[in-house]
A and B are shown apart, each in its own frame.
Chain A
Amino acid sequence: MDLLNAFVALANFVLVPAIAYGSQLALGALGVTLIYGILRFSNFAHGDTMAFGTMVVILVTWLFQSWGISLGPLPTALLAIPFGIAATAALVLGTDRAVYRFYRAQKAKPVILVIVSIGVMFIYNGLTRVILGPDDQRFADGERFIISAREFRNLTGLEEGLAIRTTQGITVVTAVIVVAVLFWFLNRTRTGKSMRAYSDNEDLALLSGINPERVERVTWLIVAALVTIAGVLYGLDKSYKPFTYFQLLLPIFAAAIVGGLGNPLGAILGGFVIAFSEVGITYAWKKVLGHALPESLEPDGLVQLMSTDYKFAVSFVILVIVLLFKPTGLTKGKSV
């Protein structure tokens, strides 16, 4: 029985990866939930907007690297994020003007906007592949680890190692900063308050003189920033491939819906619920239990609830359960 080793093994294989993954999902889900709350449709192009923003960041990062600019131990990509945000903002604002505004003027039903967003998704999808291609891209540089498993073992003398990658640390820190700024903006500034008012009751907001065009523009700008940051963090931490970004759509939507659509706090909660369930349910607990339990109770099997192949199924199942029993999500969001 060795609780310390059990905790380190748990942290290494479950806590650290799930917290990093959860932060990435939360940032993605915040974007979905903002669009749902303010523009009133589910944006299926979200994953591919992420892929586009990350692509711009990758290209600028390569440019910086060729100029010899770097951030020392931190990835150069962080410097390139503002350029990615600017390009993504231009793209989504352009799309809004050319596509969504037309349907809004006609007071189209949300389901029509959803289908329109699927069309937009295919366009973005093609755009990314034409410019950068469908392959894996590596753009991470700088120091790889805050602490590597081997260093940790040498440092503590424990049997288990704990590795924390730089990208995981950056993910969590950035997510905290971004969320703090977003909430300050929504709760404290005039524009933020007008956005919340517009989301709560469109008619009353219009009556009180809020300019809907402005609210929509600001929403897209915030969404562009959120998706680019989320995409870059995911790409740095894992790997960049346009197709996996498209697949991220499912856990991101699951996170937004589980947390309660339209509710920013819920999106963050949902992100972590999905991440911890995906990692926890597909993890084989043998090692942790082997350390934590007395020898006589040590499990022989792997103690794995579900094979790792079923990772995506976990998001689906949670989604179904929440929709069955609490259609508004864990926090009080809008029902789907």
Chain B
Amino acid sequence: MKHLLAATATAALATSAAFAAGHATEVKLGVLLSFTGPIESLTPAMGAGAEMAMAEVSGNENFLGGSTVVPVRGDATCVDAAAATAAAERLVTDEGVKGIMGADCSGVTTAVLANVAVPNGVVMISPSATSPALSTAEDNGLFFRTAPSDARQGEVLANILREKGMGEVAVTYTNNDYGKGFADAFQAAFENAGGTVTLSAAHEDGKADYAAEVGSLASAGGDALVVLGYVDQGGAGIIQGALDSGAFDMFALGDGMIGDSLTDTFGADLDGTIGTAPGSDNEGGALFQEMASAAGIDGTSVYAGESYDAASLILLAMAAAGSAEPGDYASKIEMVANAPGEVILPGELGKALEIIAGGGDVNFEGASGIELVGPGEAGGSYAEYAIQDGALTVVGYR
């Protein structure tokens, strides 16, 4: 028995050594997004964006000796922390992923970070978790995000409303970490800018009827209703209720509400509505959209570019560290993301790998013009949307 055990152990050691020594090894990356749940209409483009970066790098001779990159998808569900944790656990322990591109919603991201990423020492880069609370979460240097904190988006949205001369607004937010954090940040910024928030009330997702919520918001009154929720869930129900009862006809929306299903449902009823979502007008954004449409993906979809950037950062950091082990490459992420170095735009990952292989330095700008600040999060650039003639249009960047 002893001999058998020893023999098995030796064999196992030998094979793993052989794997490590082999040239074309396989690096698995997790794509943990909410393919079901409240933001399911956004995630297909996000997942495709991340996988585009992986396909670009996979097999490149300068990437860990020509290793292939294999994406493994997991469902983060957006709302069910236990399910998201189980999915992440599967990615890390069964599939052996070396890094996770995800998760997306703030609540599940916090849970996965605390329960899976930190205990297992796996790097996580979220393309869309925007809760201010994640800035201070315990992460052992393993967590990054290519989306900025909502504290910043709250300021931007508040400034736009003030510039449009709105003095009083009512706020409703989806009752979770994202909604609460965003609403608090918005209220603080709006009041700082001299405005008044008449009521800041939560709404639950998945109810049949939001007449009661709309009733109290209408009672509080205001020039506009600020909806910080999800477009496939309560957020749309609130807007429906407000339009039906004639309580508000001017809306201001957070990033979770910017989606095509919004205009598909309400069309021109929402004309004049404004919104913000992360986005930038840098060269990279346009390049990414070209690449995406060539690949048959909707590159304008919210967070698709950030997802590409998140996956790219993991891959470039691996190349810079010369290792796919999270412990080795985590410290390189900020290095490849920030200046100094050659500016890298979408589609130029091959060039970046060549520079890194030659010992040079890169400054990955990507689709969102990413620059990591503070505790490893994007500094933030926002697109200002307006609904004109029943269509979502970008009217500016700030």
Chain A interface (Cβ within 8 Å of chain B)?
12-14, 17, 21, 144-145, 148-150, 152-153, 161, 163, 165, 234, 237-241, 243-244, 278-279, 282-288, 302-304, 307-309, 311
Contacts and interface: CB of A to CB of B under 8 A. Distances in A.
Contacts of A165: 244
A13 B218 contact: yes
Contact of A302 (B204, B211, B216): B216
Contact of B207 (A14, A244, A288, A302): A244
A145 B244 CA distance: 8
B208 A309 contact: no
A307 B201 contact: yes
A307 B219 CA distance: 13
A179 B219 CA distance: 35
A243 B207 CA distance: 9
Contacts of B237: 239
A244 B211 CA distance: 15
B216 A304 contact: yes
A240 B206 CA distance: 11
16 contacts: A12-B245, A12-B246, A13-B247, A17-B215, A240-B208, A279-B215, A282-B212, A282-B215, A284-B216, A287-B218, A287-B221, A302-B219, A308-B201, A308-B213, A309-B202, A311-B212
A163 B220 CA distance: 19
Contacts of A244: 206-208
Contact of B215 (A150, A163, A284): A284
B223 to A, nearest CB: 15
Contacts of B244: 144-145, 148-149, 163, 165
Main secondary structure of the interface of A (DSSP, over half): helix
Interface in B200-240: 201-204, 206-209, 211-216, 218-221, 237
Main secondary structure of the interface of B (DSSP, over half): mixed
Given A161-B246, A279-B211, A304-B216, 12 more contacts: A13-B218, A14-B215, A144-B244, A152-B246, A161-B245, A163-B244, A238-B208, A278-B212, A279-B212, A288-B219, A308-B213, A308-B215
Given A244-B208, A309-B204, A163 B245 contact: yes
Going nearest first, the 10 A-B pairs with the smallest beta carbon separation are A149-B246, A284-B219, A161-B246, A284-B216, A238-B209, A238-B208, A244-B208, A13-B215, A287-B219, A308-B212
B318 interface: no
A165 B216 CA distance: 20
Contact of A234 (B208, B216, B245): B208
Nearest to B240: A239
Contacts of B203: 308
Nearest to B175: A309
A286 B215 CA distance: 10
A248 B215 CA distance: 21
Contacts of A285: 219
A144 B269 CA distance: 13
A285 B216 CA distance: 8
A114 B337 CA distance: 63
